[in-house]
Amino acid sequence: MIVQQEHHPISSKKNSKRRKKCHGNRKLQRFRKKCRKRGLTKEETQRLIDEYADNNQHQNKSNHQQKKVVGTNIEKMDVSTNLNGTLNESETNPTKSNKRKQQISQSSSQRSTSHPFVKRIKRHKSLQIRITPLKLNLKLPIYLKVHQNILFRTLRLLLKHKLQRKCECQFLHHRLQLLNQQCHMELRQNLWQSYLNLGSEKEVWPNVVMKMAKTDEHLVCQQFVQKQLNEMKIKYDQCTNELSLQLQSCPVTLMELQSSLDQHLKEFVQIQQKYIATKMQFQLQRYEDMITEIELLQTLSSFPLSSDQQNTINQLVHLQEKQVQFYEDLLKLEARVSIDFLPRSFDELEDFVTFDDYFPVGKDTVAIEFKQTNFKIIQEAKRMWLKTYIDAYESEIEKFKHQYEDELYQFQLVNSRHGGIYSTTTTIVNSFLDYMNRRTNRLKDEIAYEKVPLYRKHLLRVQQRFKSTQKMVTVKPTVIVDLFYHPFTAAQLAYLSRGPSYIRPNPSVFFPEKTFKKRIDRELKDTMKKLKQCMSNDHDRPKIPLTSPLYKSYADQLQSCLNQAYMTPTPLIDQIRALRELKMVQSIRTKLKKFKLILRETDKSGVLHIGSAADYERKAIEYRRTTGAYELLTSNPFNDII
């Protein structure tokens, strides 16, 4: 009774625990998601799940039977306790066991309480930190959100310090957030200060300023830009104060780097923000081009133009706008081709060409060849239709281009008759040509860098709603897969579809420093050897002796250039892409080896082809048998010759 009363509260506590809510079979959900990425249908996915469930059910039955057999061989021991604490004799059923007996101490107290010694496995401490933004509305850049290992590996090389504690990594991560915000604010300040200087002088403001200020008045835009600069300065000073406060919580192990820490981290952040700086420089350049275009238009308007000249200029501007409009439509069609989202007429063409009446039932080489032939027929039909579209756009562009050139020639010819070579009419023509060239370049830049990217984003959002587009035949060159079922994902097939000429970006970014030094020394020695040989054996020019100090100075300059080329740190965005593609290549190689597949380049189209090793061997035997160009030797004839 005492024992039952003692154990009763424990059982009540166990029953009072709240059960966790079930969110479904997560393992099954992940498997379905993986099958969708591989391009399998719902029926094929369900068939694989049913096969796995049947195999798992048979395995569970066999394991249950084994447990029953093992349970009959376990020794039974009944232990009863008295109030006096005396231990009664235990009734045991001795049985034979194949397991090794562990060494147990001889004392009776240890005999009942001892447990087998478990060997502890030494685990490495993880330096993964919890990535949290310092502010709720702060959006972290990509290099601070993903792949912490690459980030801290780069920081170790940059600071020349082993970051072995989480407090160090957390401190550096928070400091990089503040420095990233400060550097980005500094870039924006420089851009808007340039807007203020040019806008105040030329009284012309960029489109982004007029859109944010909701007006095109000069004074209002100027006040708006000054207000934005004041707000940026306040935020910049706030970041500086936060950096000084955050420096007080610097770990003791980083105190020795405190003098040069901010300098190294700022250089690191500037390398990561190289893309943003280039983008802002491009925006400023476009603003300057717009100012130049307006000045050229004012210069052209200052000439006294007749009604015929004005009509001719308007006609030329209209023809140029038509040409640019068809150029925009052509770029939008190219954007559709790049994301495999062609117009609806191409899908209707595929439905018209597809063979619905017959498809092989078996899963052999005949069915695979039929499938590939059907794919090629549909692809060629779509490509011919796409070529018709492109030819139509290009013909319209050429038509308006010829009309523009004819009108321009007539405009130059008519105005040259009314005056001499150095008259004002010739100046009008030159001014008009300068203005039209500037205007055409600006319109094409707007189409390429503003309109087409927005159109592409809109197409991607629409494409996500239509799941049927993923099964359509593409017009782009793709990898040929002569298999019914393949283990490759959609991303891996898209990577292989880039063709054998594709070069993986930054393939040597993860090489150790010793490898770079060996390459630098090898290139330096090879270059200096060829240079000395050329300069010492030159018959037409005076020779330079091998003991000249010029070779030493040139070698030092060449080595510094090679060090800068090899040792310049790569932005983390490029490193992340290089790592992602490296893992993809490794995964493709593993699957090719595991499933005995062969990846080769085709002879005609130049794309990659994936097939089984047995199929390649069968085709080789059939080719030798049909052509008779080869003869199989049963023995080596060179043994008799030798």
Q: If you average pLDDT over residues 407-432, what whole number do you get?
A: 72
Instruction: Check residues 579 and 53 and name the one with the higher pLDDT.
Output: 579
Other C-beta atoms closer than 10 Å to the C-beta of 351 total: 10
* pLDDT confidence bin for 291, thresholds 50/70/90: very high
Spatial separation of the C-alpha atoms in residues 33 and 214, rounded to whole Å: 46
- The pair phi, psi for residue 72, each rounded to 5°, is -75, -20
Quick: pLDDT tens for 500-559: 989 888 888 888 888 889 999 999 999 999 888 888 776 666 677 788 888 899 999 999
Quick: pLDDT tens for 201-219: 999 999 999 999 999 999 9
Q: What is the pLDDT of residue 81?
A: 35
Q: How far is C-alpha 464 from the geometric centre of its chain's CA atoms?
A: 19
Q: If you average pLDDT over residues 359-363, what whole number do you get?
A: 61
Give yes or no for residue 36 having a pLDDT over 70.
yes
How confident is the prediction for the chain on average, in pLDDT?
81
| Domain boundaries of the chain, sorted by first residue | 128-302, 303-476, 477-504+571-642, 510-569
Whether 440 and 312 have beta carbons less than 8 Å apart is answered as no
Quick: pLDDT tens for 316-328: 999 999 999 999 9
Q: What is the pLDDT of residue 61?
A: 61
- The pair phi, psi for residue 191, each rounded to 5°, is -65, -45
DSSP codes joined into one string, 177-230: HHHHHHHHHHHHHHHHHHHHHHHHHH----HHHHHHHT---HHHHHHHHHHHHH
Quick: pLDDT tens for 600-638: 998 888 899 999 999 888 888 888 888 887 877 788 877
Share of the chain above pLDDT 90, in %: 41
Instruction: Check residues 341 and 41 and name the one with the higher pLDDT.
Output: 341
Q: What is the pLDDT of residue 215?
A: 92
Angle at 64 between CA 58 and CA 68, to 5 degrees: 145
Q: Which two tokens stand for residue 405?
A: 């050139």
* Residue 612, SS3 per DSSP: strand
Angle at 561 between CA 560 and CA 567, to 5 degrees: 85
How many Cα neighbours within 13 Å face the side chain of 388? 8
Whether 414 and 350 have beta carbons less than 8 Å apart is answered as no
